[in-house]
Homo-oligomer: A and B are copies of this chain.
Amino acid sequence: MTDSKIYQASTTAPVNIAVVKYWGKRDAKLNLPTNSSVSVTLSQKDLRTHTTAACSATFPSEDTLLLNGSPQDVSGARTQACFRELRALRSALEAQDSSLPKLAALPLRVVSENNFPTAAGLASSAAGFAALVRAIANLYELPSSPTDLSRIARQGSGSACRSLFGGYVAWQMGNEVDGSDSVAVEVAPTSHWPTMRALILVVSAEKKGVSSTSGMQITVATSELFQRRAEVVVPKHMELMEKAIKEKDFETFAKVTMMESNSFHATCLDTYPPIFYLNDVSRAAIRVVEDINAAAGKTIAAYTFDAGPNAVIYFEEKDLDAVAGPLKSALSGLDGWQAAEREIKVQGLDKVDERAVKVLKDGVSRIILTSVGEGPIKTEESLLKADGTALRQN
């Protein structure tokens, strides 16, 4: 008799935004990077993927993945690698303990929902693969640590490995050919430095021209400056950044964050043909951050940009008015300000470049005000109906 039970587990997982950037693979299949990186995990209150992983003998025999109600292709090497590695761990458990149900052999049904627009360029694949791996690990009741799981999530999407932890997270590039030491580790938990805030300016983007996966491969192949970044610049920034986080030294954190972003985008521009992620709106955001820091007489805000034009501005809670004030004054009409933990004083618009403000007004479509936050959180909230079908399916 077949077991008709539907086994399932659910989790949420966060987005992370790197302050030392991942760009360049030394092994494209295993997603092994050419340099280490560091990120801040962002609060799941504002940005998270919610995932339910289920398996059952009653499911059709193919593994499936539904994202925001739409079926996704799971035949790609990256998703397959995650499924395969997690199943292997489950099989090992089952081999040790014959009383365990034989879940590894059952088809998987994974259902995911983001609480933010997937297309907005907000590192959705990091949260997505972290949630997928964490949910299946929970389903399989694996004893794996977040670092163990990061090794698997990395194969889904490089930066996903960092979303297995909350707070401040390093992805150590590792040296091994099989990637066994290319994993995420905690630099410091959220509680160590809980006052870190992030203001995201979502830019009404042109469609992304170059995917980050192909982009970084072209950079490695063609940029003459890239090698120096990987060999000299990033190791130095890693050391400075880990120390800054441990000492809660915002000025160093900020300076390294900004130089890192610039260095990464410089190697994109040095790629042939060149890759541009920053546009005039991004430049205006940089100018406004520079003006905010100049007005404060010290560095209280740091910009960083991933593979897209959105600005992420890090600052400390005590500087909420000084940093978010001018931006709220400029962008008061946009959604997102209501999420502030306290009313932001509308002020300081006179301290920032007028032309940059105009460019932001025309080019920013939405803001997200968030903070450093926790890693994946187990939840009982399932995205499946009692019969095992998805609550939402387009």
The chain A residues found within 8 Å of chain B, CB to CB, are 206, 223-225, 227-229, 232-233, 236, 255, 258-259, 262-263, 265-267, 269-274, 276, 279-280, 283, 286, 290, 355
Given A229-B224, A280-B279: A206 and B265 within 8 A (CB)?
A: no
- Contact between A227 and B228 (Cβ–Cβ < 8 Å)? yes
Number of this chain's copies in the complex: 2
B residues near A223, Cβ cutoff 8 Å: 266
A224 to B223, CA, bound (A): 15
Taking A224-B236, A228-B228 as known contacts, 8 extra A-B pairs with beta carbons closer than 8 A to each other, sorted by chain A number, are A224-B232, A224-B233, A224-B263, A225-B229, A258-B272, A258-B273, A259-B272, A262-B272
Within the complex, the shortest CB–CB distance from A106 to chain B, in Å, comes to 48
- Contact between B206 and A355 (Cβ–Cβ < 8 Å)? yes
Top 4 A-B residue pairs of the complex, sorted by shortest distance between their CB atoms: A266-B270, A266-B266, A228-B228, A266-B269
Within the complex, the shortest CB–CB distance from A236 to chain B, in Å, comes to 8
B residues near A280, Cβ cutoff 8 Å: 279-280
Q: List 29 A-B contacts (CB under 8 A).
A: A206-B355, A223-B266, A224-B232, A224-B236, A224-B259, A224-B263, A225-B225, A225-B228, A225-B233, A225-B263, A225-B270, A228-B228, A255-B272, A258-B273, A259-B272, A262-B269, A262-B270, A262-B272, A265-B269, A266-B266, A266-B267, A266-B269, A266-B270, A269-B269, A273-B286, A273-B290, A274-B286, A276-B283, A279-B280
